[in-house]
Amino acid sequence: MYKIGWFSTGRGQGSLNLLHAIVAAIKNGRIKADMGFVFCSREQGDAEGSDRYIKQVRDYGLPLFCFSSKRFKPDLRRQGIQDPAALARWRRDYDREVMQQLGAPDVSITVLAGYMLVLGPEMCASYDMVNLHPAAPTGPAGTWQEVIWQLIGQRAHESGNMMHLVIEELDKGPPITYGTFPIRGGAFDMLWADMEENLRHKTLQEIAREQGEQQPLFAKIRQEGARREIPLVVQTVKAFADGKIYLKDRHIIADGKPLAGPYCLNDDIERELAQ
C-alpha cells in the first residue's frame, strides 16, 4: 500500500481542513494509500489551534509525532532573528531532532500542509516533500496576499495553485502539479472595471493599504484560489498513489516518461469542485 507522510504546525482551521480532506479520501477509497505518520511542530499546550489539531490526529488514530519548535533552543532561535548563521544552526539542529524521531519512515511522499518552518538542506535531502504554493507555476512569488496584489498589478488573466518539491530555498522548488483558473469573464469583469476606475485616482499600493483583503477583486481572486487548494492537494496525492506520477532523482515521471514541466490537474480539480 502506498504511504504518505504529513507535516503540519496545525495552527488553524485550514490545516484541519486539509487533514480531514485527505483522511476522508483515504477512508472512502478515492485515495488508495495509508497515512504513514503525521508530524506536528508543536506539542500539547503550545497553542489552542495546535491543541485542537493534535486531538484530531489522535481521534483519527493516525501515528503522531510532536516536537515543539517553540521550546527548542529558544535562545539560539532568538539570536537567529538578527544573525542568519545562528538561524541556520537552529534550523539544522531542529531538523536533526525531527529526523531522529521519525527515523526512516516507510513513506513514498511527504506533504507539507500548513507547516510554518523553513526546512534545512539535510531534511530536504532526506525526504521527497511537496508543498502547496498559492500561484501557478509561471505566477508570482510570495504569500497568497502578495501573489494576488501582483496579479492585479499585472492585469493578469489567470491565477492558480501548485504543489512543488521542497528545497532549502523557500518556495523555489520545481513545480510538480498545478491547476489554473481564469480571473477574467463573468463576475470578474465588473470587479476589474471597478479596479481600473479606482486606479485612475489612487495607486495600487494605496488601494491595498486602505482596503486590504476586503477589496472586492482581491477577495474574489482569493475565494476562487482557496476553493481549489484542497482539491489540488487531494488530486496530487491521488496521482502519486495511483502511480500516474512519481519522482525519480527529483524529476517528475508520468506514464514512464520524464515530464518537461509540471503535471496539470485542471480537469480533475474542476470535476471535484463540480461534484
Q: What is the mean pLDDT of residues 237-250?
A: 89
Q: What is the CATH number of the domain that holds 21?
A: 3.40.50.170
Question: Under a CB-based contact definition with an 8 Å cutoff, are residues 60 and 26 in contact?
Answer: no
In a shared domain, residues 140 and 250: yes
The total of other beta-carbon atoms located within 10 Å of residue 14's CB is 16
In a shared domain, residues 92 and 141: no
In a shared domain, residues 97 and 188: no
Q: Is the pLDDT of residue 172 over 80?
A: no
pLDDT tens for 124-147 read: 888 889 999 989 998 888 888 999
Residue 148: inside a domain:
yes
Residue 49: inside a domain:
yes
Judged by DSSP in three states, 164 sits in: strand
pLDDT at 169: 77
In a shared domain, residues 45 and 119: yes
Q: What is the mean pLDDT of residues 182-189?
A: 96
In a shared domain, residues 108 and 154: no
In a shared domain, residues 62 and 143: no
In a shared domain, residues 141 and 113: no
What span, in angstroms and rounded, lies between the C-alpha atoms of 158 and 133?
Answer: 15
3-state secondary structure 37-95: EEEECCCCCCCHHHHHHHHHHHHHCCCEEECCCCCCCHHHHHHCCCCHHHHHHHHHHHH
pLDDT tens for 208-229 read: 999 999 999 999 999 999 999 9
Residue 170: inside a domain:
no
In a shared domain, residues 198 and 229: yes
- DSSP, res 202: S
- Split at pLDDT 50, 70, 90, the class of 267 is very high
What span, in angstroms and rounded, lies between the C-alpha atoms of 153 and 140?
Answer: 11
Q: Which domain, by its residues, includes 197?
A: 135-158+180-275
DSSP bridge pairs for 131: 112, 164
Residue 166: inside a domain:
no
In a shared domain, residues 59 and 96: yes
Least confident among 122-131, 163-172, 260-269:
163-172
In a shared domain, residues 89 and 205: no
Residue 35: inside a domain:
yes
Give how many domains the chain has, as a whole number.
2
Q: What is the mean pLDDT of residues 97-117?
A: 90
Residue 175: inside a domain:
no
Q: What is the mean pLDDT of residues 180-199?
A: 96
In a shared domain, residues 148 and 96: no
pLDDT tens for 74-100 read: 999 999 899 999 999 999 999 999 999
pLDDT at 216: 97
Share of the chain above pLDDT 90, in %: 73
Q: Is the pLDDT of residue 59 over 90?
A: yes
pLDDT at 162: 94
Q: Is the pLDDT of residue 202 over 80?
A: yes
Residue 64: inside a domain:
yes
Task: Write the burial class of residue 100 (CB in 10 Å: 0-12 exposed, 13-18 middle, 19+ buried).
Answer: exposed
In a shared domain, residues 108 and 224: no
Residue 11: inside a domain:
yes
